Amino acid sequence: MKQLNIKNIVVLTGAGISAESGIPVFRSETGLWENHRVEDVCTPEAYDRNPALVRNFYDGMRVKLANIKPNPAHLALARLGREWKGGYTLVTQNIDNLHEQAGSENVIHMHGELMKIRCYEDYGGCGTVVETDRPQDPEQPCPNCGKKLLRPHIVWFGEMPLDMDLISERLSKSDLFISIGTSGVVYPAAGFVRSAKFAGAVTVEFNLEPSATKGYFDAGVYGKAGTTLPDFVDRLLSRGSEYISELIRGA
């Protein structure tokens, strides 16, 4: 087997990393938008039909998020970002801000952010993004164009995820791709492991159980991310490529 020389790391996180902080995952018996049907809240068509329902849903989540704290897995990634000497990119599918609360910087939120609203381009808005920590007032004008067209800054099904060019560029240069707490069923994120493998990266997943894309991973670490990830980050920072070689040899 060729000698590993890991410089650039790309991490992808999903709902599972925030589960131990108390945010339910999407695809479980108790998850999935807390009894809302996905088509009632998570598509542009649903918003066209009933914007108040969709706004109220995200308003409720925003209020809950105010009392939720990062867990050891978020903290471990913040440490990795601070201490890794090579390139480091953290992409999250999550709309919560727990990575930032833990101290991670330059987080790429490919599915948007709960604490932001945006002037809706499809309705003739200008795309300006506004930070918010409160329930959305439909009468609030956009600070840039003045139109009252602000919507949750969330990527719904059928919409293009954010920062795809940047993510593709980072994946194409990755040496190690780490996926944490994602079921691997929602695209394009579910395809990132394949892109990373084509770029020659070693791939490792962290989950409670093998994900839908497990066949693309060189190694899997199964258990709660809050328990498994701090130890992994510790070893990666102290032993680098040598540790990853051992991990995939033992897989």
User: Of 19-27, 74-82, 132-140, 232-240, which part binds ligand BJW (CB under 6 A)?
Assistant: 19-27
- Tokens representing 159 are 């919409």
| Residue among 88 and 206 whose Cβ is closer to ligand BJW | 206
Q: Which of 86, 146, 188, 215 binds ligand BJW (CB under 6 A)?
A: 188
- Position 221 contacts ligand BJW (CB under 6 A): no
For ligand BJW, the binding residues in 150-169 under the rule CB under 6 A are: 154-155, 157-161, 164
C-alpha triplet 51, 57, 59: angle, nearest 5°: 95
- Position 181 contacts ligand BJW (CB under 6 A): yes
Q: How far apart, in whole angstroms, are the C-alpha atoms of residue 187 and residue 93? A: 11
- Tokens representing 38 are 């996905």
- Position 195 contacts ligand BJW (CB under 6 A): no
Q: Is 153 assigned a catalytic role?
A: no
What secondary structure letter does DSSP report for 247? Answer: H
CB-CB contact of 244 with 90 (8 Å) = no
- Position 23 contacts ligand BJW (CB under 6 A): no
- Report residue 173: phi and psi, to 5°: -110, 10
Binding residues with ligand BJW: total (CB under 6 A): 35
- Position 95 contacts ligand BJW (CB under 6 A): yes
- Position 46 contacts ligand BJW (CB under 6 A): no
- The DSSP line for 154-208 is E--TTSPPTTHHHHHHHHHT-SEEEEES--S-STTGGGHHHHHHHTT-EEEEEES
| Min separation Cβ 240 and ligand BJW, Å | 24
User: Of 14-22, 132-140, 168-176, 238-246, which part binds ligand BJW (CB under 6 A)?
Assistant: 14-22
CA 171 vs CA 78, 84, 195, 196, 232: distances in Å = 19, 17, 7, 5, 21
Q: Which residues are catalytic?
A: 111
> Which residues are at the interface with ligand BJW (CB under 6 A)?
14-16, 19-20, 25-27, 31, 42, 93, 95, 111, 154-155, 157-161, 164, 181-183, 185-188, 206-209, 211, 224-225
